Amino acid sequence: MILARSGAVAVIVGGLFAASVCTTVAAKDAALASSGLPIPRYVSLKSDHVNVRAGPTKDNDVAWVYTRSGLPVEITAEYENWRRVRDSEGAEGWVYHSLLSGRRTAVVTMKSKDGLAPLRENPDSTAEVTARLQAGVVAQVKKCTSNWCHVAGNGFDGWIEQQRLWGVYADEKVD
C-alpha cells in the first residue's frame, strides 16, 4: 500500500492507511524521549521524498511518501533512530530521524476550507492586514509570543494568530 502526500492533499495509490490519533499535550509538559528531547514536539520534513513506514524499521512496508520538504509534523514517539510522526490531517507513521529537521514550520488552518486567515503587520488584531492566507499554506515560524506568531513564506511575511496554525502548541513561545 503506497500513499503519496503533498502538503495537506493526499493521493491514494494503493489503499488507505489507518491512522491512530494521539492526544496532544503542550511541549513544556511533555516527557523526555531517548533523544533527550520532549515528546510530543513539532519538527519539519527535511526533503521532498520522505518514506513513512508502518513500523520503526526498514523491514516495515512504506505506507506513503511525503513529497514536500518543510511540511510540519509532530513527533509522538521515538524508537531508537525512528520517530513516529503525525501530520496535520492526523495520519501517523514512522520516519527515520535523519529525514526530519528541527526547523519550525506550520500549516494555516481554517474552520472552512474557503476561509482566509489575515496576516498582519504587527501582533495586534487591529494592525494592518498585509496578506490573507488560505488553509494549507505552509509557513516558516520565526517567532511566537502572546498568542501571535511571526511567519514567512513565498511572498509573505507577517503576524498571524497562533490558533490559526497547526505546528505550534497553544501558548507556546518560539524564538
Which domains can be identified in the chain, with CATH numbers? 3-14+26-103 (2.30.30.40), 107-166 (2.30.30.40)
Report the 3 state secondary structure along the chain: CCEEEECCEEEECCCCCCCCCCCCCCHHHCEECCCCCEECEEEEECCCCEEEECCCCCCCCEEEEECCCCCEEEEEEEECCEEEEECCCCCEEEEEHHHEECCCEEEECCCCCCCEEEEECCCCCCCCEEEEEECCCEEEEEEEECCEEEEEECCEEEEEEHHHEECCCCCCCEC
pLDDT in tens, the chain (175 residues): 444 554 433 332 333 333 333 333 444 455 667 788 999 999 999 999 999 999 999 999 999 999 999 999 999 999 999 999 999 999 999 999 999 999 999 999 988 878 899 999 999 999 999 999 999 999 999 999 989 999 999 999 999 999 999 999 998 999 9
pTM equals 0.81
